[in-house]
Structure 1
Amino acid sequence: MKRFSMRRRTLVGGAAAATVLATTGGASAQPAAARSFVLTTATTGGTYYPVGVALATLVKVKLQASKGIDVSAISSAGSTENVKLMRENQAQFAILQGLVAQFAATGEGPFKDVGPQKNIRGITPLWYNYSQFVVDSSAVKTGRIGDLVNLYGKKYSMGARGSGLETMHLWLFPNLGIDYTKMDLVYQGYGPSSESLQNGTIQGTNFEAGLPTGAVTQAFARAANRLKFLEFNGEDIKKANGTTDLLSLAKIPANTYPNQTADVSTAVLPNFLAVNASVPEADVYEITKTIFENLPFLNNIHGATKEIDLKRVATGPFPLHPGAVKYYREKGIEIPQRLLPT
């Protein structure tokens, strides 16, 4: 198994990525029954990383001593890179943005050269990413997403290279009729993009994440007097979806962020917890069961986990892992044929 660069990613929970006994069978000082997995997330300024840490912490607290199962969360460039890390078995679990997950399942978009990712299985939808397009107020004319044309010739952050946000932009902008090649593009994670908005070195970006997003909170706390959200309406959602139905309309409630006094109408996209098909059924069963039987634990760590719902599990672009299917059937959930593993 290839080793990932610790210079680029932060390891949480103490287990090294090379210690993946369930898939490598390698020797270790740990008891023979111990299994240590890696969950890859995204950059630290968004929602993926803290939710990943919450999931890893839950598994460590509930399953490490009793079942010998340990999960460590690492930061990454985001969903597109996460698919690669799973393909190379540098990570066994991943949080994937809905669009990236669909492309990975079908071998489209950034995966057209490598084809459908047959190694990935679903566990559960997690929370919705809210499109949070934040721009300098000088670019706002109508207040809707179409105002992005007013950023032509100005600096715009597409997100980190290889991130789900970059993939989202490359899909979304053509659907909306936005020619991003006319912008002066930069590639930054959420934290650096927030700082750049605050100091005026970029004029716009999008934070695709659950609510509240730390990087957005920071930006509006320090520069709300000159930053504005761009909104979506029903017509914008229809255009943005292109030939899909991935996006739906939702609101960012007033006072989610400092100095945000009104609701913001925007687009939302689901995220998924995915797993390599090679992870043992018993381990995925225990992790799935632990998640749904300890939702208050997760809710206390990050508000986005309040959207995890047993009633929504029978969805997604990948077949479900047999371990997840076992738990859902115990709870009386009917699984569509297309989501059953083959």
Structure 2
Amino acid sequence: MKFYQAVIGTALGLAVTQLSFAQSQITFKSAKTSSSYYQMAVEIAQAVKKDTDSKIIVTVEESQGSVQNVMETAFRGANYVFTTPPALVKLAQNGQAMFKNRSNPKFNDIRALFPIPSLAMHFVVSDKSGIDSFADMEGKKILLGKGTFGANEGAKYINLFGLDGKIDLAQIELSNAVPALKNGQIDGFVTSGSFPAPNVIEASAGTKVNILSFNDDQIAQTKRTKLVIPAGTYAGQDKDITTTSLPVVVYTNSAMDDETAYTLTKAFWDQKKNMSDSSPWWKGVTTDMLSNINGKIHPGAAKYYREMGVTLSENQQ
């Protein structure tokens, strides 16, 4: 009897061991659950599970923001992935800004995998406001909101373009921007998000709106990345919109093995078409956005890009 119990115990142990080798567990630190970036992380997790036939399981964790995501690389293991703007990784590695006196040598081990939708700036104005350019916002009532990337960027641009003190800033929550625009309480609002942004879709539905474009000089002043929102993205939008953006990338660290990094990257690009069919914000993601990565790309991911004929810079390899 003891012999059979030993045999059964050994068999079960082998089965568990084989299962653990057959399936990799990845932790994906994303954003607040209310954020579109959390939803994107869930979609990526589902895409990876499908593409790898459940050989890689991605568990999405809520985060309070990109700074937290970067900080956690100091004590997370090999199978940790997260989202953050490339600019933040550079600040962490140089011990600057919010990372001053919080530097860690492990920040230098951060490696990129693939880009995801950027945070695109939207200056949305009602057609009846008569606003066709940033200069036209003088004397108009504009909603910036507060405490968000879009609000901070909007305030910065108003100052850069010589409009500080010349705009009537509405004291309304950004969540009320669309009804306020439609009932004439405000002339426009500023928001950021991956396009098509839900609140901009809502604003353009049944009401004619304009979304302001930046010229090259204005983009240069902002020191942000140029992004083009294609014509037809929003109702009544018959031409491309040129705006600024903050690129966002999925990262891991150099401790992740090459095969896992390769498989994750391949799964993302393999499934991007399917993700785009259900969530349009994926349509704007292309391999051209790899140029926004100013640091190292994980060797496993780099292998996939070479196989796909994508040229990487010397700094990325």
The TM-score normalised by the length of structure 1 is: 0.66
Question: Distance in 2 between the 1:114 and 1:293 partners?
Answer: 38
Paired positions, count: 295
1:133 to 123, 127, 135: 123
Aligned-CA RMSD value: 4.1
SS at 1:279's partner residue? coil
Rounded Cα–Cα distance in structure 2 between residues aligned with 1:45 and 1:319 = 27
1:71 has 2:63 as partner: no
Could you tell me whether the CA contact under 8 Å between 1:249 and 1:268 is conserved in 2? yes
Structure with higher helix content: 2
The answer (yes or no) to whether the contact 1:45–1:213 under 8 Å persists in 2 is: no
Point out the more displaced range, 54-63 or 200-209: 200-209
Q: TM-score, normalization: structure 2? A: 0.71
**1:338 corresponds to:** 315
Answer yes or no: is the 8 Å Cα contact 2:109–2:254 preserved in 1: yes
Q: Distance in 2 between matches of 1:332 and 1:237?
A: 30
Say whether 1:238 aligns with 2:220: yes
For the residues of structure 2 that align with 1:109 and 1:201, how far apart are their CA atoms? 38
Partners of 1:70 and 1:130 lie apart in 2 by 30
Q: Quote the residue 1:266 is aligned against.
A: 242
Is the alpha carbon distance of 1:176 and 1:320 closer, same or farther for their aligned partners in structure 2, counting shifts above 3 Å?
farther
Equivalent residue for 1:208, pick from 189, 192, 205? 192
2:27 pairs with 1:37: yes
Q: Secondary structure at the match of 1:208?
A: strand
8 A Cα contact 1:50 1:302, kept in partner? no
Which blocks of at least 5 consecutive residues in structure 1 are unaligned? 1-27
Query: What SS does structure 2 have at the residue aligned with 1:324?
Result: helix
Distance 1:120 1:281 in 2: 14
Q: Which residue of 2 aligns with 1:156?
A: 144
CA distance in 2, matches of 1:137, 1:237: 24
Percent identity reads 21
Alpha-carbon separation, structure 2, partners of 1:330 and 1:45: 34
> For 1:176-200, what per-residue CA distance to the aligned partner results, in whole angstroms no more than 9, with x for missing partners?
4454899467776xx6655665677
Q: 2:285 aligns with which of 302, 308, 313?
A: 308
Task: Provide the secondary structure at the position in 2 that maps to 1:320.
Answer: coil
Describe the superposition over 1:302-335 as per-residue Cα deviations: whole angstroms up to 9, x where unpaired: 2232333345535512211222123223444443
- Residues 277 and 78 (structure 1 numbering): CA distance in 2 closer, same or farther, change over 3 Å? same
Give the secondary-structure state (helix, strand or coil) at the position aligned to 1:327: helix
Unaligned stretches of 5+ residues in structure 2:
1-15
- Distance of 2:176 and 2:257 partners within structure 1: 38
The answer to whether 1:51 aligns with 2:40 is yes
